[in-house]
């Protein structure tokens, strides 16, 4: 519902011919991360999804799957970026318990606002602040493991910078994000728990190299709280992204998500396809 409204309001604003955004340099728009925000794979960045500049808007969609030892996360999402200033996103998570049976679904609504800069051109990193409101639909497992709430809001501040030619002539991109959160495993296991039910600050980072205008590779790290006392681990991934055009991107990653709901060693392939629809 919210997405439909966003898209229609976008179409109302957008009457000129040049409003569909493709004005950024290829590869500098980033991707949509797991929770739907513009970013890398698991970390939200200061960049907004899509190639819109300050005179343009863009609409993006993505599909991501993470195949782990005992689970499979399916994500379907879309985002709207307005004038390279504000981004609104929706992501639907379906978390298959492939070993135990059953699934957990939740929806994440995101908003992000650029506070300062341009990821490529400003002297200092681009800076953005965002929120992710997460609404858990299947609450049985969250209740079982002792979580406090079945919905929650993450708040984050992200800084991202591209350094042209900085890595032996290759462009280097880094991102650092501070997130206030109560979410257990993205919120799929609820929010807060017996160990902790307060907001905690988690640090997340990404480092990538653009080996050409069309290939990027890098690493990401995401710190996680352990509110449930189930030994929730920090996440990390190593990724390769192929960006054949501003219309589409493909990402293949190896993700190590550690222990999830007591099942340790959750590693596997992360696959994502994203595209700009407008």
Partner 1 sequence: MVKPLLVIAVCVAILSGCASRSDTLYEELGGQAKINEIVENFVYEIEYNDTILPYFADTDIDRFMEKFAEQLCVFSGGPCSYSGDTMEQVHGGMNITEADFNLTVDLFINAMNKANVPHTVQNKLINRMTHTREQMLYL
Give the footprint of partner 1 on this chain (CB under 8 A).
Answer: 18, 21-26, 53-56, 84, 120-121, 164-166, 168-171, 211-213
DSSP 123-189: SSPEEEEEEEEEEES--HHHHHTT-SBSEEEEEEEEEEEEEEEEETTEEEEEEEEEEEE-BSGGGTT
Q: With contact defined as beta carbons under 8 Å apart, do 138 and 104 qualify? A: yes
Helices (H), strands (E): how many in the chain? Answer: 2, 14
Rounded Cα distance, 255 and 269, in Å: 6
CA atoms within 13 A on the CB side of 179: 30
Dist CA 271 CA 264 (whole Å): 21
Query: Six-digit token pair at 14?
Result: 């957008």
- Identify which of residues 72 and 214 has a Cβ nearer to partner 1 in the complex: 214
CB of 25 to partner 1, least distance (A): 6
- Smaller CB separation from partner 1, 2 or 55: 55
The two structure tokens encoding residue 70: 């005992």
Nearer to partner 1, 84 or 154 (CB): 84
Largest CA distance in the chain: 55
Residue with Cβ nearer partner 1 (21 or 41): 21
Name the minimum Å distance from CB 209 to partner 1: 11
- Angle of CA points 95, 62, 18, to nearest 5°: 155
Task: Tell me the closest approach of the beta carbon of residue 15 to partner 1, in angstroms.
Answer: 16
Q: Which is nearer to partner 1, 10 or 185 (CB)?
A: 10
DSSP string, 42-107: SSB-SSPSSB--TT-EEEEEEEEEEE-SS-EEEEEEEEEEETTTEEEEEEEEEEE-TTT--EEEEE
- Compare residues 93 and 246 and give the one whose CB is closer to partner 1: 246
Closest distance of CB 217 from partner 1, Å? 14
Nearest-approach distance from CB 170 to partner 1, in angstroms: 6
Q: C-alpha 266: how far from its chain's center?
A: 19
The least distance separating partner 1 from the CB of residue 168, rounded to whole angstroms, comes to 6
> What's the min distance (Å) between Cβ of 171 and partner 1?
5
Q: Which is nearer to partner 1, 3 or 207 (CB)?
A: 207
């Amino acid at each position: 519902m919210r997405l439909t409204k966003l898209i229609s309001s976008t179409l109302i604003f957008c009457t000129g011919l040049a409003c569909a955004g493709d004005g950024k340099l290829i590869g500098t728009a980033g991707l949509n991360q797991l929770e739907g925000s513009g970013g890398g794979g698991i970390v939200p960045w200061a960049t907004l999804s899509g190639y819109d500049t300050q005179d343009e808007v863009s609409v993006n969609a993505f599909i991501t799957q993470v195949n782990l030892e005992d689970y499979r996360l399916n994500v379907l999402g879309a985002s709207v970026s307005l004038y390279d200033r504000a981004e609104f996103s929706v992501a639907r998570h379906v978390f298959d318990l492939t070993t135990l049976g059953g699934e957990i679904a939740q929806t994440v609504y995101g908003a992000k606002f650029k506070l300062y800069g341009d990821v490529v051109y400003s002297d200092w990193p681009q800076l953005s602040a965002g929120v992710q409101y997460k609404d858990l639909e299947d609450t049985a497992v969250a209740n079982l493991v002792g979580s406090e709430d079945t919905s929650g809001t993450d708040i984050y501040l992200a800084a991202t910078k591209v350094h042209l030619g900085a890595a032996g002539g290759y462009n280097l991109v880094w991102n650092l994000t501070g997130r206030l959160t109560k979410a257990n495993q993205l919120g799929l296991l609820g929010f807060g728990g017996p160990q902790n039910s307060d907001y905690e600050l988690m640090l997340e980072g990404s480092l990538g190299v653009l080996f050409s205008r069309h290939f990027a590779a890098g690493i990401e790290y995401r710190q996680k709280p352990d509110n449930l006392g189930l030994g929730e681990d920090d996440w990390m991934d190593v990724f390769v992204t192929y960006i054949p055009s501003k219309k589409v991107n493909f990402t293949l990653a190896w993700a190590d998500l550690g222990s999830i709901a007591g099942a340790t060693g959750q590693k596997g392939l992360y696959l994502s396809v994203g595209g700009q629809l407008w």
